[in-house]
Amino acid sequence: MFRPRPDSRHATICVEVEGRLVRVPAGASAAAAVLIAGLSSIRETPLPTGQARGLKGHGAERGPYCMMGICFDCLAEIDGVPNRQSCMIAARPGMRIRRQRGARAVAMK
Amino acid sequence: MTVDLAIIGAGPAGMAAAALAAELGLDTLVVDEADTPGGQIYRGVEHAPEASALGADYLPGRRLVTQLRESTARYRPGTTVWHIDPGASGGGILSLAAAGYSETVAARQILIATGAIERPVPIPGWTLPGVMTAGAAQLLLKTADLVPEGQAVLAGQGPLLYLTALQLTRAGAPPLAVLETTPAANYHAATARYVGELWRGRRDLGKGLALLFGLVRAGVAVRRGVRRLRVLGRHRVEGVAWEGGEIAVDHLFLHEGVIPNTQISLALQIAHRWDEAQRCWRPAVDEWGRTSLPGIAIAGDGAEIAGAGAAALSGRLAALDAAAALGRIDEEDRDRRARPIRSGLARERAIRPFLDALYRPADSVLSPADAVIACRCEEVSTGQIRRAVQLGASGPNQMKAFLRCGMGPCQGRVCGPIVGAVIAAARGVAIAEIGTFRPRAPYKPITVGTLAGVERDPHQIADNEQDSFA
């Protein structure tokens, strides 16, 4: 997990990560909020490899890796929209960030 | 909409090019994926405190940001270029996506200034949560004042590795250790061959030495000649091991230098060449940044890794050439204005041959062991790629059909360099002959919904569609 450095600016933005409220400073991305919340991973790959490692019905666990929009390992469901690159999206007050489990379902509205 | 010059990327090259092009009277548009200008190198610099842990080379980025903000160039943050249709007479048509809608812009000249990405560091366990790049740790510090909690180790080589270690130290979170992978032979080879470059690049060499002394003074253990790195852990990183040692860690930050971000230039089928000194693919550009496509230039680290100072200067050269191509200045004026920029560029590049030789990545970084995952998205191992070579997959693009590597959400951005090098080594052929992935549009995944929103009023569309993909 990550923490604000000792003399950092105030964390003023409140977001929800997997049901947990965390405060993040302005300028933080949704992926940064995930790291502040202390989640070890934010997505499971759409592949069945995780089952071999004892994760029932899921792919491998992944967390933010590059933080600059390259690797897509920080994919998350943000405000109900799946498969968003959380490192490229600024945290906003009230934002809800959830795990991305495998591939996104086809939206039927 | 038609503009004189469209610039992709608001890092040092894009910002400097935009400010000069606007000053020369060009109708200039800058599109950038991030919410604020600066690129990765100056990410968050507008809001950085004066006494920043990020050091003296970071804050000068504000001057470039101010020049962009105060120029007449239109700056469009949060915007992704997902396709370019090159025009026969120069420039082309850009397809942009932002806030859930898509639109096209015609540009007489295009400048690609998409900078660098970190070279992938494929070691056993590098996909485990808690393993990140050194650049990622630095970006968390730049954007959100965040430092790792618990024990952190940085491993690999290159200026950014030491810089990040020192910045974390200054920010009150010194890493437990820096594990340097530079082979001892590189030190001898680099100093013996590039004595002259060392003198011409003494300013940058001094900065590098100051970094190392800073780490030693702070009591950060620097272990040299580390080989056979691997990550320990089951569901997340628990430790890092190497030949002859291991440490328990909560965070591992990897780095083996940076390489040009060639996603757009490769997709456009611009001519590229393998740069053996920097061990990466880069677009072939002339002294103005011109590519094999008319009216499409590349500036900054996206053309050649030379750092932020050189990037800004090469951006200005490209702006001058665009202005000349559009008849705003004559060639004599362009050349006269370029002269002092070129001397600055030579100074900025002086240290590069030494750094390239010193931090030349080992063969195992380019072509790792069989068990190591090469394609993170599709979880394809290096061994699978080697077996597919035996079955007749002779190049990176055939490998997509065999194994789906490079066809996941990152579109081959991360595994591209690995796949090409592994095939080359397996076939005993030079990487230059093997080539690399040809990326396809959309350059970033976009939803059908975003596509369907073409030419709709952006204010009518809920921004919750932004950046998502199917």
Chain B positions in Cβ-Cβ contact with residue A36 (cut-off 8 Å): 146
How far lies B406's CA from each of A39, B119, B197, in Å?
Answer: 27, 15, 38
Question: What is the per-residue pLDDT for B442?
Answer: 95
**Mean pLDDT, residues B269-287 taken together:** 97
Question: What is the DSSP track for B218-252?
Answer: TT-EEE-S--S-EEE-SSS--EEEETTEEEE-SEE
**Mean pLDDT, residues B3-14 taken together:** 98
Chain B positions in Cβ-Cβ contact with residue A82 (cut-off 8 Å): 468
Q: Does B413 touch chain A (CB under 8 A)?
A: yes
Cβ atoms of residues B38 and B14 within 8 Å: no
Question: What is the per-residue pLDDT for B296?
Answer: 98
Question: Both tokens of residue B449?
Answer: 């919904």
**Mean pLDDT, residues B239-251 taken together:** 97
Give counts: helices (H), strands (E), chain B. Answer: 17, 22
Question: What is the per-residue pLDDT for B124?
Answer: 97
Please tell me which of the candidates B49, B143, B470 has its beta carbon nearest to residue A28: B143
Report ipTM for this prediction.
0.93
Computed over every residue of chain A, the mean pLDDT equals: 87
Selection from B414, B412, B379, B380 nearest residue B396 by Cα: B412
How far apart are alpha carbons A3 and B158 in whole angstroms?
A: 26
Question: What is the per-residue pLDDT for A57?
Answer: 56
Exposure string over B39-75, b if 16+ CB within 10 A, otherwise e: bbbbbbbeebeeebbbeeebbebeebbebbeebebeb
Q: Evaluate if residue B459 carries a pLDDT over 80.
A: no
Q: Does A99 touch chain B (CB under 8 A)?
A: no
How far apart are alpha carbons B155 and B176 in whole angstroms?
A: 11
Chain B positions in Cβ-Cβ contact with residue A102 (cut-off 8 Å): none
Q: Evaluate if residue B464 carries a pLDDT over 50.
A: no
DSSP state of B284: -
Percent of chain B with pLDDT over 70: 96
Question: What is the per-residue pLDDT for B465?
Answer: 39
Residue-wise pLDDT tens digits, B59-118: 889 999 999 999 999 999 999 999 999 999 999 999 999 988 899 999 999 999 999 999
Q: Within 10 Å of residue A87's Cβ, how many Cβ atoms?
A: 28
Confidence of residue B208 (pLDDT cuts 50, 70, 90): confident
Residue-wise pLDDT tens digits, B24-43: 999 999 999 999 999 999 99
Q: Evaluate if residue A56 carries a pLDDT over 50.
A: yes
- B379 and A66 in contact by Cβ < 8 A? no
- A68 and B40 in contact by Cβ < 8 A? yes
Confidence of residue B137 (pLDDT cuts 50, 70, 90): very high
Q: Evaluate if residue B460 carries a pLDDT over 50.
A: no
Residue-wise pLDDT tens digits, B318-374: 999 999 999 999 999 999 999 999 999 999 999 999 999 999 999 999 999 999 999
Interface A:B, Cβ pairs < 8 A: 145
